[in-house]
């Protein structure tokens, strides 16, 4: 619809026909879970435009209930099926925007009427009616963005919700140490998590379905929401000769497919990641909307057509009172692409700590080792997460380095930020690491550190009493200068690995130790990141782990 | 304190002495109004660090109650006065961070004990005690950021507050059409506004002071808050030979003054605007903090010292339920610098319109006519203002063009944004204007438009009934294509100037008209901007202005 609307604005005389298989165009896809949950009250709110409003405003010929059966690239015709019969329609230019359909894994029993997806207005209205009937138990298969949203809204509606994913944590694109916050929040919402397991089968009974998991668990369900991902809905076009790669349509920088006068945009299209070179479809609303506009430009005013940008993949999800967001590449993508990078962990407040309502934003940022270029960023927190990820997404798009973040003049007054905003702090931390003023060690190295180094915890006695790593030496950072000889003696020539709660005080301690000549490093993200990283395994490495869970 | 803390982190062996005239260091300047208002409950919250905490963590020698009386740049000594007597202290390097003091205009009676400023912790505690005593009436002189904050918190405390400024609208750096929202919100808070007038005198009586304004008004006051601006507090250093321009210390890109081994940072320093070349001090916390760190780098590890960036001047203020923020240059600064620019007005929702809580962000963005480079941006609204200004500040710092904003992948899900974020929409609008797909006219041209063109209002009949410009022709945009001949006939060869509510539908109508061959243009920001621009004068140009005020 973005392409069609843009086309009309550029050309009053073009004949513009939109073919849509379903009953609706321009509906609020991303609002569907919130309609099921009741936050969006009326179905009509989901219908952003209708065929008649589009005809009135933009003279568009929108034909719903039109299923495209075939494409003849030689004769330049599309064949469509309608309730009134089949026909052909000719084109000068054709824009393919078929989107994606839900992946349906080969699970016996998946054909149960209790198994639903959440892709269309009809899906959403049907799901809401089902929930309104007063069912009690839902199983959500897939803990990606849609699965998380579905689990959240169903839990808010009072259902007993189980959430299942083969990945070891919810929101698999999120880094492990941030996902811990999402896991905790889902549990706080009452969601029963089954991670690292697959659904093997769905037994259909009269009164209920039972989802059988690979670990043997049996989950009774009145409703099963299938949200294990999507794949491009391109069979018709691939069969007609449009070049695809693993089902995704191949396009050039202007949205041209391999077939003359055939263009493609949206979830069905192959994107090439600007950072990692990874080739995959990106199912996100923003890039799809903007690509539609750009393709219309390429057709109707090629002299002004701009290139489709490589997607940054920015995404966000609300989970209870928490928000998780990410942009750019994550650790897994960078490792796969064999990029050398440094990772930064921060836990600053979203606004001045002395102003009411201050809460932490948990940040993970990756920057290239070679030149400091920002590669990816993720954040979790109650407030201010979207702002920091949007700023970082802008910085990544602009090709800024982590050091450039120091210089950003961001809006500050106590209700809105800090004089050193979390984004500025990220820049300062990155500069310290890249210039050697700071050396980091990471939570995943803990076993090796305990084996070969002196672990020095520089938090206060009260913090240590509430949970600490077994075997660590404790000296508050304010006492360190006076107790250097104790450290030297305890280390006995071993390296010192420092830690505190969030990584700020351990960085100060590291500076003291490094200038004393020690082989020293500071734990990235401190105890907050360490605890999140180790999660369920924390009890083996921590003293008083029970106390820590409530710290 | 940023410079001192950074210096210690870089060098354990340096002797680092901090001289402070007052009783506190590292206090929460920006939180003072909120302490007066009671949102920040405890005075202790304002003290971010103390001399003893700084000694413990960073081995800093912080000497409060030390007033610098002189500087001998030849002998490299500073002379200080303390309660215990005067002495001299030698330096290898000296960092000047004296800040600014309140401007005290030559108003008779300004020496009244009822006249207060709001610069120090002592100011704030004294003000709060005064308010707690149950006084009823306050006059705030100066409607800049601090004046607005003071007026807001005093009004929230239940005082009858009058706010006085010589400028024609509150927050003078804000564009006139955005200031209208701030004006309305201040009135909603019960603040009595006196704009375009000066305070001529303050009469001191036993029971009250009376502020006499240049228009003859007499404002009885139990308290007068003086917030008409600040000026660099640099007399001692200028007298010692440190080069200044209109009182502001001249520094190079690393913070060096004109005197060897003397550096300067913060509100006392002259900044050169990166966009306009304007030379002035910038009294903002963020840049000051970061400059302190950079100067310490320049002294202690010059091999890694980065240049001080030209300030973008990003600032934000909460006013009741509204937020106003700005970054980069405004219209006045661009006009003074004789820069050619295009101005864009938008009123998009901060998040998906179908999601509960959607409210408008009113945006004004300036971009260079020549190459589209972003020059400045301002926004007012209830929610999402800080995020958009931070993204735009980042884009300005990165040197992006308005068209580059189209491509930003910003975090979208219905609670957090739109598939086409307000920032993306700004880019699309700017591209349309710069490529000629859209031609704008502006609210200030209304009289000329009514004189020489056909004004075509393409809003719905219901919107027109709630207030419209006298003499406009009304055709809803959805009917325009079928009624072109009516327009042609009414225009009689005159140009057509189109308007709608926010500028979206008039842009569609403009495309229809332009392709029909008309000399057409679309009102930037629509009726929302027109009404805000004309404000109190609206009644002369609008039908049913009363209805409009409540629209």
Taking only the tens place, the pLDDT of each residue in B42-70 is 999 898 899 999 999 999 999 999 999 99
**A288 close to A266: Cβ distance less than 8 angstroms:** yes
Q: What is the mean pLDDT of chain B?
A: 95
* Range in A97-106, B5-14, B43-52 the model is least confident about: B43-52
Average pLDDT over residues A421-431: 98
Task: Say how far apart CA A411 and CA A428 lie, in whole Å.
Answer: 18
The DSSP secondary-structure symbol of A307 reads P
| Of A277, A304, A331, the domain-final residue | A304
Tell me whether residue B462 is exposed, middle or buried, using C-beta atoms within 10 angstroms of its C-beta: 0 to 12, 13 to 18, 19 or more. exposed
Q: What is the pTM of this model?
A: 0.97
Residues A365 and A406 in one domain: yes
Chain A interface test: which of B149, B378, B419 (most A C-beta within 10 Å): B419
Instruction: List, in sequence order, every residue forming a beta bridge with B203; answer none if it has no partner.
Output: B210
Q: What percent of chain A has pLDDT over 70?
A: 98
Residues of B in contact with A394 (CB under 8 A): 391, 394-395, 398, 400, 408, 410
Structure confidence at residue A275 (pLDDT): 84
Task: Say how far apart CA B442 and CA B425 lie, in whole Å.
Answer: 19
Say whether residue A91 is in contact with chain B using an 8 A CB cutoff: no
Residues A332 and A431 in one domain: yes
Residue B478 in any domain: the answer is: yes
DSSP 3-state assignment of B297?
helix
Phi, psi angles (nearest 5°) of residue A513 = -70, -40
Structure confidence at residue A543 (pLDDT): 72
Residues A423 and A488 in one domain: no
Residue A178 in any domain: the answer is: no
DSSP 3-state assignment of A288?
helix
Q: Which ipTM was obtained for this model?
A: 0.96
Q: Which residue of A has its CA nearest to B389?
A: A411
Residues B427 and B352 in one domain: yes
Closest CB to A409 among B46, B313, B386 = B313
> Do B286 and A410 make contact, defined as CB atoms within 8 angstroms?
yes
> Do A413 and B309 make contact, defined as CB atoms within 8 angstroms?
no
Closest CB to A393 among B40, B356, B408 = B408
Say whether residue A34 is in contact with chain B using an 8 A CB cutoff: yes
Residues A506 and A476 in one domain: yes
Residue A44 in any domain: the answer is: yes
Residues B538 and B484 in one domain: yes
Look at strands B223-226 and B137-141 and give their pairing. Answer: parallel
| Of A402, A435, A468, the domain-final residue | A435
Q: What is the mean pLDDT of chain A?
A: 95
Residues B510 and B411 in one domain: no
Residues A333 and A409 in one domain: yes
Q: For residue A535, how many other CB atoms are within 10 A of its CB?
A: 16
Task: Say how far apart CA B157 and CA B494 lie, in whole Å.
Answer: 56
Q: How far B86 CA sits from the closest chain A CA (Å)?
A: 32
Residue A414: is its pLDDT beyond 80?
yes
| Of A404, A435, A466, the domain-final residue | A435
Q: pLDDT by residue (tens digit) across B247-264? A: 999 999 999 999 999 999
Look at strands A192-195 and A160-165 and give their pairing. Answer: parallel
Average pLDDT over residues A66-73: 97
Chain B interface test: which of A29, A404, A413 (most B C-beta within 10 Å): A413
Consecutive H or E run containing B427: helix B422-435
**A474 close to A468: Cβ distance less than 8 angstroms:** yes
Residue A93 in any domain: the answer is: yes
Residues of A in contact with B289 (CB under 8 A): 419-420
**B15 close to B4: Cβ distance less than 8 angstroms:** no
Say whether residue A383 is in contact with chain B using an 8 A CB cutoff: no
Domain that holds residue B501: 440-549
Structure confidence at residue B544 (pLDDT): 59
Structure confidence at residue A547 (pLDDT): 46
Residue B158: is its pLDDT beyond 80?
yes
Task: Say how far apart CA A148 and CA A59 lie, in whole Å.
Answer: 39
Residues of B in contact with A49 (CB under 8 A): none
Tell me whether residue B11 is exposed, middle or buried, using C-beta atoms within 10 angstroms of its C-beta: 0 to 12, 13 to 18, 19 or more. middle
The CATH number that applies at residue A329 is: 3.50.50.60
Residue B516 in any domain: the answer is: yes
Residue B362: is its pLDDT beyond 90?
yes
Residues A293 and A345 in one domain: no
Structural domain total, chain A: 3
- Measured at the CA of A42, the angle between CA A37 and CA A46, to 5 degrees, comes to 85
Task: Say how far apart CA B257 and CA B244 lie, in whole Å.
Answer: 9
**B168 close to B196: Cβ distance less than 8 angstroms:** yes
Consecutive H or E run containing A534: helix A526-534
> Do A391 and B395 make contact, defined as CB atoms within 8 angstroms?
no
Say whether residue A395 is in contact with chain B using an 8 A CB cutoff: yes
Residues A452 and A365 in one domain: no
Closest CB to A390 among B387, B435, B505 = B387
Q: pLDDT by residue (tens digit) across A261-317? A: 999 999 999 999 888 889 999 999 999 999 999 999 999 999 999 998 888 999 999
Residue B549: is its pLDDT beyond 70?
no
> Do B11 and A352 make contact, defined as CB atoms within 8 angstroms?
no
**A417 close to B386: Cβ distance less than 8 angstroms:** yes
Residue B551: is its pLDDT beyond 50?
no
The CATH number that applies at residue A490 is: 3.40.250.10
Residues B483 and B419 in one domain: no
Contacts (Cβ under 8 Å, ≥6 apart) of B526: B345, B347, B499, B500, B501, B502, B503, B504, B506
Q: Which residue of B has its CA nearest to A49?
A: B354
Residue B402 in any domain: the answer is: yes
Q: What percent of chain B has pLDDT over 90?
A: 91
Task: Say how far apart CA B393 and CA A405 lie, in whole Å.
Answer: 11
Residue A540 in any domain: the answer is: yes
Residues B419 and B480 in one domain: no
Residue B193 in any domain: the answer is: no
């Amino acid at each position: 619809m973005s392409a069609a609307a843009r086309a009309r604005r550029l050309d009053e005389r073009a004949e513009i026909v939109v073919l849509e298989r379903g009953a609706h165009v321009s509906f609020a896809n991303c609002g569907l879970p919130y309609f099921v949950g009741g936050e969006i009250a009326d179905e009509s709110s989901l219908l952003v435009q209708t065929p008649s409003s589009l005809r009135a405003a933009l003279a568009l010929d929108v034909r719903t209930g039109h299923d495209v059966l075939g494409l003849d690239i030689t004769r330049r015709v599309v064949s469509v099926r309608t309730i009134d019969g089949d026909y052909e329609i000719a084109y000068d230019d054709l824009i393919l925007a078929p989107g994606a359909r839900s992946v349906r894994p080969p699970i016996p029993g998946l054909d149960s009427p209790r198994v639903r997806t959440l892709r269309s207005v009809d899906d959403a209205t049907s799901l809401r009616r089902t929930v309104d009937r007063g069912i009690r138990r839902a199983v959500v298969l897939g803990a990606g963005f849609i699965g998380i949203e579905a689990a959240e809204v169903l839990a808010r509606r009072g259902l007993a919700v189980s959430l299942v994913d083969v990945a070891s944590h919810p929101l698999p694109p999120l880094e492990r140490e941030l996902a811990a916050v999402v896991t905790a929040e889902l549990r706080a919402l009452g969601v029963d998590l089954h991670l690292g397991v697959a659904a093997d089968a769905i037994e259909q009974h009269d009164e209920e379905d039972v989802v059988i998991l690979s670990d043997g668990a049996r989950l009774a369900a009145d409703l099963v929401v299938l949200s294990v991902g999507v794949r491009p809905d391109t069979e018709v076009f691939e069969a007609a000769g449009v070049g695809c790669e693993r089902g995704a349509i191949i396009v050039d920088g202007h949205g041209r497919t391999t077939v003359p006068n055939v263009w493609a945009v949206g979830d069905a299209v192959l994107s090439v990641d600007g950072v990692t070179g990874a080739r995959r479809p990106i199912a996100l609303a923003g890039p799809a909307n903007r690509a539609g506009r750009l393709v219309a430009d390429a057709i109707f005013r090629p002299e002004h057509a701009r290139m489709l940008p490589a997607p940054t993949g920015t995404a966000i999800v609300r989970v209870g009172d928490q928000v998780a967001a990410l942009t750019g590449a994550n650790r897994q993508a960078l490792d796969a692409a064999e990029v050398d990078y440094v990772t930064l962990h921060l836990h600053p407040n979203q606004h001045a700590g002395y102003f009411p309502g201050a809460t932490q934003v948990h940040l993970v940022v990756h920057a290239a080792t070679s030149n400091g270029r920002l590669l990816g960023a993720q954040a979790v927190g109650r407030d201010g997460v979207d702002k920091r990820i949007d700023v970082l997404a802008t910085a990544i798009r602009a090709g800024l380095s982590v050091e450039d973040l120091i210089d950003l003049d961001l809006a500050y007054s106590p209700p809105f930020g800090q004089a050193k905003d979390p984004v500025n702090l990220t820049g300062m931390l990155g500069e310290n690491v890249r210039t050697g003023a700071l050396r980091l060690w990471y939570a995943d190295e803990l076993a090796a550190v305990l084996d070969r180094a002196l672990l020095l915890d520089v938090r206060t006695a009260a913090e240590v009493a509430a949970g600490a790593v077994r075997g660590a030496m404790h000296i508050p950072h304010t006492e360190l200068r006076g107790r250097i000889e104790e450290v030297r003696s305890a280390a006995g020539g071993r390296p010192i690995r420092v830690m505190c709660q969030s990584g700020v005080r351990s960085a100060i301690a590291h500076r003291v130790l490094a200038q004393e000549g020690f082989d020293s490093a500071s734990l990235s993200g401190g105890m907050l990141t360490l605890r999140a990283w180790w999660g369920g395994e924390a009890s083996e490495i921590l003293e008083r782990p029970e106390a820590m869970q409530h710290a």
